[in-house]
Amino acid sequence: MVDQERKIDLFDEGTMIVGLDECNHGRYPEFFVAAASNTLQDGFPLTPMKLNKRRVRKPSPLSSMGLRKYTFLEVIDGDYGRIRPKENFIGTVATSLIHESIGPDLDQLILFIDGTISTKQMCHTKDMLADYTPLKKTQIHITGGPKYDEIYPIVNLADSIANSLWKMRGEENSRREKHRRDFLRD
């Protein structure tokens, strides 16, 4: 068991921990963010502790990323209708966000998704990731559930970034654009 007080950082270049969350769900624009880390502690659940959702955060989560990285998709009206069946949407979003970050030396991907995800959605996400990356399905581990942004640090970070991006929408920022991704074709 890891002593949360000592803040042990277990760094593993062969493992990528990814948190996926969105902001402004059901309204447009909607931002999906994948935050990625090789620090295993970012994937340890902090229950019974609960992480605060950082809605008013100074400094911005983007200024304290450390070795973590992020990518984002801006979803606009009509994007949900382009991906059929509807159940494939989260898999297409996840793969669009992280496929370019996965190199041939990665041993495993651990993906935490905030929100309920069905077995069918998990399988589709795994299939897409295996198609677009060097990883085999056995190297991809996906879990999802409500309130993951309050349990897993990496999902909490994705939530904070999504909220920050939503608040900055419409502002010109060339540094942010390098993190933007487009939808893959399913």
Using an 8 Å Cβ cutoff, are 135 and 40 in contact?
no
- C-alpha distances (whole Å) from 146 to each of 22, 97, 124 are 12, 21, 20
Total-model pTM: 0.85
Q: Give the torsion through C-alpha atoms of 7, 8, 9, 15, to 10 deg.
A: -120
CB burial of 45-71 (b: ≥16 within 10 Å; e: otherwise) equals eeeeeebeebeeeeeebbeeeeebbbb
List, in sequence order, the alpha helices (H) in the chain. Answer: 79-82, 89-98, 119-132, 153-167, 174-177
The residue type of 28 is: Y
Q: Find out whether 53 and 94 touch, Cβ atoms under 8 Å.
A: no
Q: Where are the domains of the chain?
A: 10-177
Q: Of 105, 112, 93, nearest to 134 (Cα)? A: 105
Render each residue's pLDDT in the chain as its tens digit; 186 residues: 333 433 444 667 889 999 999 997 777 788 999 999 988 888 888 665 566 666 555 556 666 677 789 999 998 888 888 888 889 999 999 999 999 999 999 999 999 999 999 999 999 999 999 999 999 999 999 999 999 999 999 999 999 999 888 888 777 766 678 888 988 875
Domain 10-177 belongs to what topology? Nucleotidyltransferase; domain 5 (3.30.420)
